[in-house]
Structure 1
Amino acid sequence: MAFNPERGDGTLTQESAVKTVDRVALILRLLSDAGEQGHRLSDIAEKSGLGKTTAHRLLGALVQVGLAYQDVRTKRYSLGSAAAALGRAASIHHIQSVLRPVLIQLARETGDTVFASIREGLAAVCIAREVGSFPIRTLTLDQGDRRPLGVGAGSLALLAFLPDDEIKMIIDRNRRWLQDYAGFSPEELYKLVARTRETGYALNEGRIVPAMQGIAVPIFGRNGRPVAALSLAAIRDRMGPDRLPDLVKRLREEAKALEGVLEPPFCEEPAAVSSPVGA
């Protein structure tokens, strides 16, 4: 039965539903533009052209589902945690969509397994993987796997090119978590960081799976910080001195082509996400 506004049966026509979505989207954009300072109800009503009653009703619904937040002291509205989660998911999906063709091409060229990772607080997270044609596969990471920053080639590439004080803070806060990974003590990580900076790429010479090796390079954003890492894993025999330079060169070429294209997802800073075992 179609909705009749005069009858008020509580159902929505398609037109009124679209109108409501438009209003909600406008309010979310206003809250996004306001940043941490937020907006008062009167600000939202004025900037959106909505009546205060309508604006208050929509803001209340957004607060209820976590897309908006009201400071009880100032009464100002800001974006909520659910909005931040949606933004981060959209950012990750964008990075995945940009990197997926690159991974497919590299896996096809090399026959090896190629990964893409991003930073999440104190961790590196694998967001994509493509498996090459070589019969012996190196599936050391699944999409969604998390490791402490510095553990593994891609993770090390994300860590090594951060500022020194940030690297120190990350390693200090990950000390307990690093105990789960032999060969990645804080002292050893500092050595790996120095070597990675010197060579320009990260190398994991069987520290996680003895017969497997991995290499990785960072992809830098416009601010000069690592946004993501491209890594490649293979059995040790396929990463000898005759082949390793060519593999590193291909990763660097792809990373350079993507430089400045990607933006980091939200919650990149270590204060935002702690390690699973605490800091």
Structure 2
Amino acid sequence: MAFDGQAGPEDSRGGVNSVEVAGRLLRILAEAGGPMRLADLARAAGMPSAKAHRYLVSLARAGLAEQDAATTRYDLGPLMLRAGLAALGRSDALKRAERALEAIAARTGETAAAAVWGTHGPTHVRLVAARHELAASVPPGHVCPMTYSASGLVFCAFGESGLTRPLAERELAQNRAIARPCAPALMAELERLVARVRAQGFATVENEGNGGLAAVSAPVFKAGSGRLLLALTVFGRVGRLNVAADGPVVALVVEAARALAAEL
């Protein structure tokens, strides 16, 4: 079907051409490693920049796309995130993951979360919060740091490098700019951390200088393909959560991730 800038007549299947054009732009944004320039987006969609811009203006008004005022680049909008989280919330995989999180939280007494790959990186889509005054928690839809969170390191180690590397490089530059404590500043440092995560099969962090959080995260893979589906993570205040590689918390989270993968 040829692309045009107008809402054309319905075809024999009852489709609307302009919706399909908008969907193509959203699909390109979803599959991109990060925000895109208008020219690159239009080229990927096979349409003139002026026409792509008209669609993007409407998509932004609907909350399906957004433009960064500083870089002028386009990305998926807040409504896309809400829709994605709602779809995930209705999936059998996340219902099963929530049961695993409840078991982890009950055994450790700390907050457990499931993260999937989202528009801006690993995103918490399920969370079972600890119920004590020192409990660590994050809001729904929280995006985990790529380079210094346990969930982020799992995605760096086992996710698709075409998606994870651009975000990791951007974050490393931020780490250098603000001298972020307990975070790698160079790709070589991150690669050493990632190599250890791959060798161990899980990630641990203990960020004394970054809010005092400790965490353990393990990957859940899709059977047969080995593709990373999500990360199961437990986190709490430093001193409350034992993140030793040979400790009971690591064993619990790793076993829960393996069991969930087998269920799925």
Shift of 1:137: 1.0
**Aligned twin of 1:161:** 158
Q: How does 1:42-57 map to 2 (within 5 A)?
A: 45=12, 48=13, 55=14
Residue 92 of structure 1 aligns to which amino acid in structure 2? L
Alpha-carbon distance between aligned partners in 2 of 1:98 and 1:241, rounded to the nearest angstrom: 24
Shift of 1:114: 0.8
Percent identical pairs in the alignment equals: 19
Shift of 1:230: 0.8
Residue 109 of structure 2 aligns to which amino acid in structure 1? G
Of 127, 132, 137, which residue of structure 2 is paired with 1:129? 127
Residue 102 of structure 2 aligns to which amino acid in structure 1? I
**Aligned twin of 1:144:** 141
**Aligned twin of 2:237:** 235
Q: Matched residue of 2:16: which SS?
A: helix
Say which structure, 1 or 2, has more relative contact order (CA 8 Å, 6+ apart).
Answer: 1
**Aligned twin of 1:246:** 248
Q: How does 1:56-75 map to 2 (within 5 A)?
A: 59=16, 63=19, 66=22
Q: Matched residue of 1:146: which SS?
A: coil
TM-score (norm 2): 0.61
Q: Give ranges in structure 1 of 5+ residues lacking alignment.
A: 1-33, 35-40, 49-54, 74-80, 263-279
Shift of 1:235: 2.7
Q: Matched residue of 2:226: which SS?
A: coil
- Total equivalences in the alignment: 206
Shift of 1:239: 3.2
Residue 204 of structure 1 aligns to which amino acid in structure 2? V
Q: Matched residue of 1:238: which SS?
A: coil
Alpha-carbon distance between aligned partners in 2 of 1:44 and 1:261, rounded to the nearest angstrom: 42
Alpha-carbon distance between aligned partners in 1 of 2:96 and 2:222, rounded to the nearest angstrom: 14
Moved more, 126-135 or 179-188: 179-188
Shift of 1:217: 0.5
The answer to whether the Cα contact below 8 Å between 1:150 and 1:160 also exists between their aligned partners in 2 is no
Shift of 1:234: 2.3
Shift of 1:108: 1.6
Alpha-carbon distance between aligned partners in 1 of 2:262 and 2:83, rounded to the nearest angstrom: 19
- Structure with larger Rg: 1
Alpha-carbon distance between aligned partners in 1 of 2:116 and 2:152, rounded to the nearest angstrom: 8
Q: Give ranges in structure 2 of 5+ residues lacking alignment.
A: 2-7, 26-44, 49-58, 65-75
The answer to whether the Cα contact below 8 Å between 1:122 and 1:174 also exists between their aligned partners in 2 is no
The answer to whether the Cα contact below 8 Å between 1:122 and 1:148 also exists between their aligned partners in 2 is no
Alpha-carbon distance between aligned partners in 1 of 2:152 and 2:109, rounded to the nearest angstrom: 22
Shift of 1:71: 7.7
Q: How does 1:170-209 map to 2 (within 5 A)?
A: 170-178=167-175, 179=177, 181-182=180-181, 183-186=183-186, 187-206=188-207, 209=210
Q: What is the CA RMSD across the aligned residues, in angstroms?
A: 4.1
Q: Matched residue of 2:247: which SS?
A: helix
Q: How does 1:32-47 map to 2 (within 5 A)?
A: 45=12
